Amino acid sequence: MEDNPVLIYPVNDEDKNTEREKLFTRPFCNVLVSAVVMCLIYSAFFPGSGLLDVVVTDGRHSDDASVGFTSQGLTYLSSISIALITPPIISVIGVRATFGIASILYCGLFIGIIFLQDWTIYLGSFIAGVGMGMLWVVAPKILTDNSTEKNLQRNNSIWWCIYIFSMVIGNTADYFYLGNLTTIDAHTRFCIYLVCTILVLLATAVAILGYKDVKKSESLTDNQDELLCSRSIQGRPINLERATPWEKIKQNMKLYKVCLFRKEVGYLLLVLFYNSFVLAFYTMTYQTCIGHTFADRSLIPLMSLVFGMTAVISCPLYESMATFLNTKIAVLFLYVLAIISYYMIFLSFPSAATYGSSDEPTTIKPTKNLVLIIGVLLAITDTGFNIQANHVVGLLFQSDSEIGFMLLNSVMSLGTAIVFFLCSYISLYALLALLVVFCTVATICITVDIFKLGL
């Protein structure tokens, strides 16, 4: 019986002894390209979407936050449908084309916000969601397909560190540009989202010009039970390169059944669902609460800037903790910090902070320093949980990474969309209670997967 398929990198005979020592091989450069594209796109998307609610309310002189939350929910909802069919799309048009198309579609959101009409915002959100659904399958696929089991943890940490640095770039620009503004007018809105559009166009160019395909081994396995994923269906190997487009689509659909119906994947689903809740919370809900509590608009990008800087620092620190101490201890540490951050938000923000301005008394008076401390705690926990979840996905779906990250994208988009739609109807305290419950369940589930995978 043959081993699990791995990447074979072309190497000259005289370089065989030194190739392992080289860092900037073609596969690793592909990992960097994937990470840089994500960094550029989300340098625009994080601050652009985080300010959406404030931009809408300031532009219309209203406290109604429903347009911002609904449009964000629509973005992640459309992401689910396209993520489900992205693996067949990749098999038909290829990684490079999918990468480029997914990147440029993010422009839709920013162009829609510039016009500030309900229909342009909703249409732009839908188009950006289509791009998101494709991007969050193809970009992590590039990471996994260009990594081996030995360097996957390292590459994953580097990739996540570069990607999350987007919060530093975008929010630094927003913080200094907004200054002490208390209102975002039409001119300011236009400048912000024009720059966001330019960043996305630059990312598209990097995706198309920077990625180079690396040949994979065609070694296959006939025993599906001994692997968490495989490229064979009912004992018959798949040769996607010789198949017609329609055969590629049918074969990818059959692979869903092989790869997804496993106990380890079930545990992973709950972890991803929790990560999606946190993603929605810090990218918009928490920022909306800040906007409804503080008049200084620059505090929103400042918090996101601190969040991003903390996340960048947390990437190597978490990898070191998981490597030199114990992965299970690292996950427990993340759980404790997460509960502390939610409790601090509960004590310092009113229950109606997601709806609008409120005079409701709180146990602790909210201050700018407290907001930033909470942002630091959220960044540490979110970064750690995402790195660990991505590592598990990479191991479970190492041979069929596009299906694994299709699952990741679909589940996280669904959870994020649910949070955005709920934010207009439930209080902050109810949302915090859900976060605590899901955080507890996710910690248990990811610990079980860690034991099963021997991490």
pLDDT at 245 over 80: no
Please tell me which residue, 243 or 384, carries the higher pLDDT value. 384
Domains of the chain, each with CATH number or no CATH:
24-212+244-453 (1.20.1250.20)
Question: Sorting pLDDT into bands at 50, 70 and 90, what band is 134?
Answer: very high
Residue 260: predicted pLDDT: 58
Residue 262: predicted pLDDT: 65
The mean pLDDT of 246-263, rounded to a whole number, is: 59
Q: Tens of pLDDT along 278-289?
A: 887 877 788 878
Residue 220: predicted pLDDT: 33
pLDDT at 337 over 90: yes
Q: Tens of pLDDT along 158-181?
A: 888 898 888 888 778 777 777 666
Question: Sorting pLDDT into bands at 50, 70 and 90, what band is 183?
Answer: confident
The mean pLDDT of 34-62, rounded to a whole number, is: 82
Residue 3: predicted pLDDT: 43
Task: Give the span between the Cα atoms of 1 and 13, in whole angstroms.
Answer: 28
The mean pLDDT of 348-376, rounded to a whole number, is: 83
The mean pLDDT of 373-392, rounded to a whole number, is: 88
Please tell me which residue, 369 or 226, carries the higher pLDDT value. 369
The mean pLDDT of 244-268, rounded to a whole number, is: 62
Question: Sorting pLDDT into bands at 50, 70 and 90, what band is 83?
Answer: confident
Q: What is the mean pLDDT of the chain?
A: 78
